[in-house]
């Protein structure tokens, strides 16, 4: 019997545990994570394998630290980016939670440097963006880099290991709900965890499980916008005038043809493109490091589309498109922008003759227009031309497009302002998997908020 059980050791779950141990040091807390400890997580592709073996539990997505552990560790220090916490509380409250969470990262070894704080520089880049019909969102960034991010997470793991019970390599299977109140969890090894409070923070990897489990318990959910797009890779020099000052530029564009929102996401100066595995589906992402650099910069272009009734399966929609890309390419597809415009597939010969050397060498040259719906594809093309106005060279014929990038946080749980599920008492849901957040710092802040709520009871 525990006072609190936490499902998922991503930033939301970790920060919930940190705050509970601070406010209620006498409480018994269990943190359940279906992946490995941070020091045992690994990816075969990163270790030199030619093809992704599609591990049953992807080492990049599962394990201590969640899907963000092997990312480049960007903490976007603003309520305006990375989540929807302002829908549940005041903007000032979200700012306080972000500042508090940021300080915790510093306490556990994060770097001091923050990019994007010079407002004079920001205003000039904002002016250039507005002339191209782009909206630049002010988003100061603390960049850890993958190596430092792993060190920080290891420090948190070692600290909590002395304070709470951590269960690795075991997954939550079923929630125990009786008379409108959560009583605990049944694990996939048959063990039952009883707890007064349960926090579900499964991240994007667990979003599908969360959706199915909540439907079974008649916990209300609404559709978030579905984010589908590509990862763009180009010479680092193209975006260097912007990344050298802001590190990451959060740019939003409304495509003239359809009016859909297109945004840049997860910009990695001098980084590399990587492959991930969501339950057997290969998707693409990007990383950058504190020490190791490449000659390229990559970022995602995501098209957001919110569906209405009767559509209720946004996660399955994203999975379907990603599977189609996998079917055609045996994994990730890559295409030159010029080939896309000319209506032809890229070939190994065309990729090799380009001025850009791909950092994801296992991607298959192909034709993304056979995969991405016309509406999203046209919006991406229009966004690339808009970006070319502030970063000449973006719309080069050699620019590489990898697909599919899709974010599995499209189902959003109906929650109170305390992030407690409507209809089931003492069951709290937070982080990216619940559709509440979509970035490291807001996920961390949401975990702190839930912990404070529980401890106040």
Q: What is the pLDDT of residues 249-273, one digit of tens each?
A: 999 999 999 999 999 999 999 999 9
Q: Which has the minimum average pLDDT: 45-54, 199-208, 306-315, 389-398?
A: 45-54
Question: What pLDDT sits at residue 306?
Answer: 79
Q: Is the dihedral of CA 129, 381, 256, 82 positive or negative?
A: negative
Which range scores top for mean pLDDT: 78-82, 211-215, 390-394?
A: 390-394
pLDDT of residue 401: 98
- Asked if the model's pLDDT at residue 410 lies above 60, the reply is no
Coil vs helix vs strand at 287 = strand
Mean pLDDT of 409-424: 86
Lowest mean pLDDT among 9-13, 50-54, 404-408: 50-54
Q: Among candidates 432, 451, 359, which has minimal Cα distance to 68?
A: 432
Residue 375: its pLDDT value, please? 96
Torsion of CA 134, 140, 145, 150, to 10 degrees: -120
> Looking at residue 188, what is its pLDDT?
94
Give Cα 86 distance to the centre of its chain: 18
pLDDT of residue 288: 84
pLDDT at 9: 95
Mean pLDDT check: name the lowest of 142-156, 184-198, 413-427.
Answer: 142-156
Q: Which of 57, 62, 41, 29 is nearest to 161 (CA)?
A: 29
Residue 277: what pLDDT? 83
pLDDT more than 90, % of the chain: 71
Question: Which residues, including other chains, have CB under 8 Å from residue 454's CB and lie 6 or more apart?
Answer: 4, 20, 197, 199, 428
pLDDT at residue 178, rounded to an integer: 95
**231/254 Cα distance (integer angstroms):** 18
* pLDDT at residue 211 is higher than 90: no
Phi, psi of 245 (to 5 degrees): -110, -40
User: pLDDT band for position 315 (50/70/90)?
Assistant: confident
Q: Give mean pLDDT, residues 20-31.
A: 98
Sheet holding 141-143, edge to edge: 74-76, 141-143, 114-115
pLDDT value for 171: 94
pTM of this prediction?
0.88
Q: Is the pLDDT of residue 280 over 90?
A: no
Bigger pLDDT: 44 or 446?
446
In whole angstroms, give the CA distance from residue 360 to residue 210.
Answer: 31
pLDDT bucket at 48, cuts 50 / 70 / 90: low
Between 60 and 107, whose confidence is greater?
107
Residue 292, SS3 per DSSP: coil
Would you place residue 147 in the very low, low, confident or very high pLDDT band (cuts 50, 70, 90)?
confident
- The pLDDT value given to residue 52: 74
Mean pLDDT score of the chain, rounded to an integer?
Answer: 92
Choose the CATH number for 2-113+142-222+413-456 among 3.40.47.10, 3.40.50.300, 3.50.50.60, 2.40.30.170.
3.50.50.60
| Phi and psi, residue 261, nearest 5° | -80, 130
Give the mean pLDDT of 73-96: 93
pLDDT digits (tens, 9 = 90+) for 169-202: 999 999 999 999 999 999 999 999 999 999 999 8
Please give the average per-residue pLDDT across 315-337, as a whole number: 92
Core vs surface per residue 180-214: b (16+ CB within 10 A) or e: eebbbbebeeeeebebbbbbbbbbbbbbbbbbebb
Cis peptide before 310 (omega within 30 of 0): yes
Identify the pLDDT of residue 409.
Answer: 63
pLDDT in tens, 385-402: 999 999 999 999 999 999
**CB within 8 A of 201, min separation 6: which ones?**
6, 7, 8, 10, 12, 13, 16, 429, 430, 431, 433, 434, 443, 447
- Alpha-carbon gap, residue 308 to 287, rounded angstroms: 34
pLDDT at residue 204, as a whole number: 76
- Residue ranges, comma separated, of all CATH 3.50.50.60 domains in the chain are 2-113+142-222+413-456
Q: How confident is the model at residue 343 (pLDDT cuts 50, 70, 90)?
A: very high
User: 334 near 358, Cβ under 8 Å?
Assistant: yes
Q: Are 168 and 187 in contact (CB under 8 A)?
A: no
């Amino acid at each position: 019997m525990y006072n609190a059980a936490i499902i998922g050791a991503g930033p939301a779950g970790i920060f919930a545990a940190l705050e509970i141990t601070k406010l209620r040091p006498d409480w018994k807390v269990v943190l359940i994570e279906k992946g490995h400890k941070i020091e045992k997580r690994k990816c075969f592709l990163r270790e030199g394998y030619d093809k992704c073996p599609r591990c049953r539990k992807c080492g990049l997505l599962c394990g201590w630290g969640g899907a963000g552990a092997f990312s480049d560790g960007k903490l976007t220090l603003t309520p305006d980016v990375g989540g929807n916490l302002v829908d549940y509380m005041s903007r000032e409250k979200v700012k306080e939670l972000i500042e508090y969470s940021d300080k915790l990262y510093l306490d556990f070894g994060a770097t001091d440097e923050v990019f994007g704080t010079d407002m004079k520089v920001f205003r000039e880049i904002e002016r250039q963006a507005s002339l191209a019909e782009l909206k630049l969102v002010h988003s100061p960034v603390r960049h850890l880099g993958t190596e430092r991010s792993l060190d920080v997470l290891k420090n948190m793991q070692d600290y909590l290991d002395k304070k709470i019970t951590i269960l690795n390599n075991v997954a939550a299977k079923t929630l125990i709900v009786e008379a409108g109140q959560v009583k605990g969890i049944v694990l996939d090894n048959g063990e039952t965890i009883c707890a007064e409070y349960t926090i579900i923070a499964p991240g994007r990897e667990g979003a599908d499980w969360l959706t199915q489990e909540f439907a079974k318990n008649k916990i209300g959910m609404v559709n978030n916008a579905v984010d589908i797009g590509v990862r763009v890779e180009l010479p680092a020099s193209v975006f260097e005038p912007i990344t050298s000052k802001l590190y990451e530029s959060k740019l939003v564009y409304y495509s003239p043809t359809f009016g859909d929102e297109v945004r840049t996401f997860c910009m990695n100066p001098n980084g590399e493109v990587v492959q991930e595995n969501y339950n057997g589906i290969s998707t693409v992402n990007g990383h950058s490091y504190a020490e190791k650099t490449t000659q390229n910069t990559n970022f995602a272009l995501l098209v957001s589309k919110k569906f209405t009734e009767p559509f209720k399966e946004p996660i399955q929609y994203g999975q379907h498109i990603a599977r189609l890309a996998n079917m055609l390419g045996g994994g990730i597809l890559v295409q030159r922008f010029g080939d896309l415009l000319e209506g032809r597939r890229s070939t190994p010969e065309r990729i090799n003759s380009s001025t850009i050397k791909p950092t994801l060498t296992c991607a298959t040259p192909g034709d993304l227009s056979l995969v991405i719906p016309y509406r999203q594809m046209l919006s991406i093309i229009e966004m690339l031309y808009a970006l070319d106005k502030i970063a000449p060279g973006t719309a080069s014929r050699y620019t590489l497009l990898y697909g599919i990038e899709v974010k599995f946080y499209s189902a959003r749980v109906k929650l109170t302002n305390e992030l407690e599920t409507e209809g089931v008492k003492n069951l709290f849901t937070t982080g990216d998997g619940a559709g509440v957040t979509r970035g490291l710092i807001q996920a961390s802040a949401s975990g702190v908020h839930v912990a404070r709520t529980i401890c106040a009871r």
